[in-house]
Amino acid sequence: LWFNQTSCAGCADVPDAKFALQNTWTAALYLADIGSMSVTMKFSGTAIYVFFIIPNFAADSGLASVVRCDFFIDGADVGTFTHDSDGSSQFSYNTLVYQNTTIPDGDHVLLIETTGADPAIIIFDYVLYT
């Protein structure tokens, strides 16, 4: 289930868009019965940096705070990001969750994917590439 700062008016707690790049973010809640959840983007260059907004709600709050995803470039598994809440009830903005500065020059495809048995949330903010 994908949502953003304008489509989540009824959500319990959402990031403040003024702290996101260009005042926008997009999020998805992953549940095991979905099978997988992913974001794909094409880019050209030799480096890429992926930034998320990270939630930190207490485990007993009922709000999603586990962030878990895998990164693939051109089909190759190139990294994993996992974050368990610190319980602070604060969002961490502009969080670098993946970087790769050794990509061969050219056109590429980035895939960010979440799978598995446990629920997870991704709050995508932005990507930089060069």
- Nearest Cα neighbor of 121 from 41, 10, 11, 23 is 11
pLDDT reading at 92 higher than 90:
yes
If DSSP codes are grouped into helix, strand and coil, which group holds residue 103? coil
Confidence of residue 129 (pLDDT cuts 50, 70, 90): very high
| Structural tokens at position 39 | 């974001």
- Nearest Cα neighbor of 54 from 79, 78, 19, 22 is 19
Residue 23 CB-half CA count within 13 A: 2
d(CA 54, CA 127): 15
* Integer Rg of the chain from CA: 15
Which residues touch 22 (CB under 8 Å, ≥6 apart)?
Answer: 126
What percent of the chain lies above the pLDDT cut of 70?
A: 92
pLDDT reading at 6 higher than 90:
no
- The CATH number fitting domain 26-129, selected from 3.40.50.2300, 1.10.10.10, 2.60.120.260, 1.10.20.10: 2.60.120.260
The predicted model scores a pTM of 0.91
- Nearest Cα neighbor of 20 from 129, 93, 91, 121 is 93
Interval 39-74: pLDDT, tens:
999 999 999 999 999 999 877 787 778 899 999 999
| pLDDT score of 1 | 63
- Nearest Cα neighbor of 29 from 114, 89, 126 is 114
pLDDT reading at 109 higher than 80:
yes
